[in-house]
């Protein structure tokens, strides 16, 4: 996978989860997608006109995550999500305290396979619109790889690069997807028009080697500052992050949603 522009923080991982959401929904609900590609189903179908639809989607999502974590979906060219591997991410961020450009390479994120689906709410049987909210929790996530960065923290300029890792604990939030129907060749697909997530993190720790080339003492002081005030920095970044979340994840979601006819993804039960 290759991600686009976002910002230099642990929250970059959220944009990558568009792959997870789309793949899980596709795996749970679809048997045949556009192009006559067969995707095996491992759960009961969830009928969008039944009152137990939300509970069914919750069970389907939770049940398929371990399989998706191990093997992915080869039919959709999606690799396993635990670990989730990203070849390269180019990022830019500019705020009061932190600004810079970062390139992350060979990023590996572990822990997504422990994702718990807490609740699902939806508007799925309205022919004019689609909405789904998915509450989730992940006990722990660890991401690491190689970075290069130019920027500043406060008045301190940063030019460095080496290995890094970020550990997050108690990760929770709600994915909110809204969409509208799209008719094509006598079939209806559901186009995702907006993706939102407000992630909450209980604990976060950052480590990066060689943050300042040739000055390990300054690197240590800066990392200590980030780890001490991570919540303030994290909260400051979130408003900037939402636009990036929406654009990046929506593109990924629509690669799946626009391949699967809506009546296959969430069929109607016979009355």
Q: Is the dihedral of CA 190, 16, 88, 96 positive or negative?
A: positive
35: number of Cβ within 10 Å: 6
Q: What is the mean pLDDT of residues 243-268?
A: 80
What pLDDT was estimated at residue 77? Answer: 65
What are the residue ranges of helices labelled H in the chain? 12-29, 53-71, 216-228, 230-257, 262-265
Local confidence band at 114 (pLDDT 50, 70, 90 cut-offs): very high
Residue 22 has pLDDT above 70, yes or no: no
For residue 137, the Cα-to-chain-centroid distance in whole angstroms is: 13
Average pLDDT of every residue of the chain? 80
Q: What is the mean pLDDT of residues 83-101?
A: 77
What pLDDT was estimated at residue 36? Answer: 58
- Asked if the 2-265 domain carries CATH number 3.40.430.10, the reply is no
What pLDDT was estimated at residue 202? Answer: 95
Q: What is the rounded CA–CA span in Å between residue 192 and residue 115?
A: 23
Q: Is the pTM value of this prediction over 0.95?
A: no
The vertex-104 CA angle with 99 and 105, nearest 5°, equals 170
Residue 67 has pLDDT above 90, yes or no: no
What pLDDT was estimated at residue 124? Answer: 94
Local confidence band at 264 (pLDDT 50, 70, 90 cut-offs): confident
Better pLDDT: 39 or 133: 133
For the stretch 125-176, pLDDT in tens is: 999 999 999 999 999 999 999 999 888 877 878 888 899 999 999 999 999 9
Q: N- to C-terminal Cα distance for the chain?
A: 42
For the stretch 44-53, pLDDT in tens is: 788 999 999 9
State whether residue 78 is helix, strand or coil. Answer: strand
What pLDDT was estimated at residue 142? Answer: 93
Better pLDDT: 13 or 93: 93
What pLDDT was estimated at residue 254? Answer: 86
All structural domains of the chain with their residue ranges? 2-265
Residue 203 has pLDDT above 90, yes or no: yes
**Which residues are within 8 A (CB) of 271 and not within 5 positions of it... i.e. 6 or more apart?**
none
Is residue 81 within 8 Å of 113, Cβ to Cβ? yes
């Amino acid at each position: 996978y290759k991600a686009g522009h976002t910002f230099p923080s642990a929250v970059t991982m959220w944009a990558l989860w568009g792959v997870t959401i789309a793949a899980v929904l596709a795996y749970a609900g679809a048997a045949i997608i556009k192009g006559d590609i067969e995707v095996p189903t491992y759960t009961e179908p969830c009928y969008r006109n039944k009152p137990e639809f939300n509970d069914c989607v919750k069970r389907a999502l939770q049940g398929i995550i371990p399989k998706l974590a191990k093997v992915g979906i080869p039919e959709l060219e999606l690799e396993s999500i635990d670990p989730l591997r990203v070849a390269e991410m180019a990022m830019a961020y500019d705020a009061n305290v932190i600004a810079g450009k970062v390139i992350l390479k060979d990023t590996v994120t572990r822990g997504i396979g422990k994702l718990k689906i807490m609740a699902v709410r939806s508007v799925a049987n309205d022919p004019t619109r689609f909405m789904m909210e998915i509450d989730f929790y992940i006990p722990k996530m660890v991401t690491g790889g190689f970075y290069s960065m130019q920027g500043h923290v406060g008045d301190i300029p940063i030019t460095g690069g080496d290995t890094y890792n970020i550990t997050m604990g108690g990760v929770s939030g709600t994915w909110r997807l809204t969409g509208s129907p799209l008719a094509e060749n006598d079939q209806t697909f559901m186009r995702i028009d907006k993706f939102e997530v407000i992630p909450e993190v209980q604990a976060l720790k950052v480590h990066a080697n060689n943050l300042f080339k040739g000055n390990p003492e300054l690197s240590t002081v800066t990392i200590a500052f980030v780890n001490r005030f991570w919540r303030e920095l994290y909260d400051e970044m979130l408003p900037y992050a939402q636009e990036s979340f929406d654009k990046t994840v929506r593109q990924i979601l629509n690669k799946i949603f626009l391949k699967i006819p809506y009546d296959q993804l969430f069929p109607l039960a016979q009355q």
